[in-house]
Structure 1
Amino acid sequence: MTHFWMVGTDTDVGKTFCTVLMMRTLQLQKQRKVTVFKPVQTGQIYVNGEASYYDTSMYKRFSLIPLELHDLNSYSFKTPASPHLAARLENAHIDCQKLQHTLQELTTRYEQIICEGAGGLFVPLNEQLDCLIDVIQASSWPVVLVTKTGLGTINHTMLSFEALISRGIQVKGIMFNSYTDCEMENDNIATILRMTAIHTKELPYAIVPKVAGEEAIPTISLAESSLIKEMTR
């Protein structure tokens, strides 16, 4: 069973939204014991007066099976900033070796783990400048790349894709988020698939429509996408 990372071309591309969709789809497809793990999250929020974090709150809210809360995250910091800075502000240190140990421990209890990154690939995690891509590489897990469909996405996607393959990290596929079905978006998607195919076979992908809010998550189905067929075969 393949454990894998969900990583974004940048912050705010919809990684958590797409991670939740992937989680629900895989839970439903094979009735698997699937969990999500967010190694590092930043930016404390308040919901009905209670302190929380957006990412893990979304997992709990939309999971189709009960989740073990202590398995969802290792490091949480209040300031919405790069992890290395958010940790420094709380006199804390993100230990990348500890993250690797946690990943390995989780594999003994779950059939499939979806590990959501923080920010982009080169976001620094600590003062030693260990970056997210270093943790991904050390894990030897493949990646699903989350990107947007609008202006600028070709450059951002290809930079991230090239960085991953240069490290020997397998890219399992792409999720194109916030799709509105216009000519530019369709061309962007087609161009990215052609450009990535120069380096590897044509990548499986899923297209996620732009929606008004999180409440639409249960209405979105990715089951017929080539990406989900690849992830569940």
Structure 2
Amino acid sequence: MSVLVVTGTGTEIGKTVVTAALAAAALARGRHVAVLKPAQTGVAPGEPGDAAEVQRLAGPLTAVELGRFPEPLAPSTAARRAGLPPVVPAGIAEAAAELSTGHDLVLVEGAGGLLVPFDEHGATLADAVALLGVPVLIVAPAGLGSLNATTLTTEALHARGLRCAGVVVGRWPADPDLAARCNLVDLPGAAGAPLLGAVPEGAGVLPPIAFRAAAPAWLAPALGGTWDPHAFTRTHTSS
């Protein structure tokens, strides 16, 4: 089953754009791609959500939402306040498995971080990952605080017997500060997993054609791209 779960160390750190880059790189190699957004919060009926944004940036793919809740809250809270049934781990796992039968790659984009509650029992994305038995890609911020947040996320994965595929920096700044540059060296140790990409800040506002052309250069070969972590790190830490 070719499923990859994309989570973040928090909110607003570039998960959707990283997911779009992963999808674009896969589509460029002729793969059939599906994106599953288990719980979309903070979006009104008819308004495009994260899965639609991935589709807009990356190109023709299957985009699926399991639940949509209008308020920008944790999925469990948003579902309760909307009077709607929550999304549960078994439903996420079932949907991802079904999509994998007709697609080469299924990308499951979480909401917020790994342990954000999805239902009234405190079930999380990690519970769905455990049912699926697939790796998790962590999207982390570039600068100060990233090491702590990344370590906490990977420790939560390891405590549950789950595998971290690696880390991608979600918004690499055009003018990185000292903390961001040092984190290129330190993030793999914090995660216990390789650094697999750096998506530039502002990538999501590129025209889709430009985004699709550039995306493989932001991701390491393990994610279907051409990005060289060693060369990138040397470039930004040589001074």
| TM-score bin, normalised by smaller chain | 0.7 to 0.9
1:133 alignment counterpart? 126
- The TM-score, its normalising length taken from structure 1, stands at 0.85
**Aligned residue among 32, 54, 67 for 1:59:** 54
Query: SS where residue 118 of structure 1 aligns?
Result: strand
C-alpha distance in 1, partners of 2:95/2:203?
Answer: 35
Query: SS where residue 208 of structure 1 aligns?
Result: strand
C-alpha distance in 1, partners of 2:33/2:203?
Answer: 27
Q: 1:25 to 1:89 in 2, by over 3 A?
A: same
- The 5 A counterparts of 1:1-233 are 2-28=2-28, 30-45=29-44, 51-65=46-60, 67-69=61-63, 72-94=64-86, 95-180=88-173, 181-197=176-192, 203-211=194-202, 213-215=204-206, 218-219=209-210, 221-224=214-217, 228-232=220-224
Q: 1:196 to 1:8 in 2, by over 3 A?
A: closer
Q: Is the 8 A contact 2:25 2:224 kept in 1?
A: no
C-alpha distance in 2, partners of 1:44/1:182?
Answer: 34
Unaligned 5+ residue runs, structure 2?
226-239
C-alpha distance in 2, partners of 1:212/1:203?
Answer: 22
Q: Is the 8 A contact 2:140 2:169 kept in 1?
A: yes
C-alpha distance in 1, partners of 2:46/2:70?
Answer: 10
Q: Is the 8 A contact 1:123 1:132 kept in 2?
A: yes
Query: SS where residue 127 of structure 2 aligns?
Result: helix
Cα deviation 1:38-78 (Å, max 9, x = unaligned): 11111115xxxx8313302202312322x345xx1111111
Query: SS where residue 124 of structure 1 aligns?
Result: coil
C-alpha distance in 1, partners of 2:207/2:188?
Answer: 27
Offset at residue 222 of structure 1 (A): 4.5
C-alpha distance in 2, partners of 1:194/1:103?
Answer: 30
3-12 or 208-217: bigger deviation: 208-217
C-alpha distance in 2, partners of 1:12/1:122?
Answer: 16
The alignment's C-alpha RMSD in Å is: 2.2
The sequence identity of aligned pairs, in percent, is 27
Offset at residue 32 of structure 1 (A): 0.2
- The TM-score, its normalising length taken from structure 2, stands at 0.83
Q: 1:218 to 1:207 in 2, by over 3 A?
A: farther
C-alpha distance in 2, partners of 1:119/1:20?
Answer: 16
Letter in 1 for 2:115: F
Letter in 2 for 1:80: P
2:234 alignment counterpart? none
Q: Which 4+ runs in 1 deviate beyond 4 A?
A: none
Q: Is the 8 A contact 1:222 1:228 kept in 2?
A: no
Cα deviation 1:122-173 (Å, max 9, x = unaligned): 1101111111211122211101100111111111111111111221211111
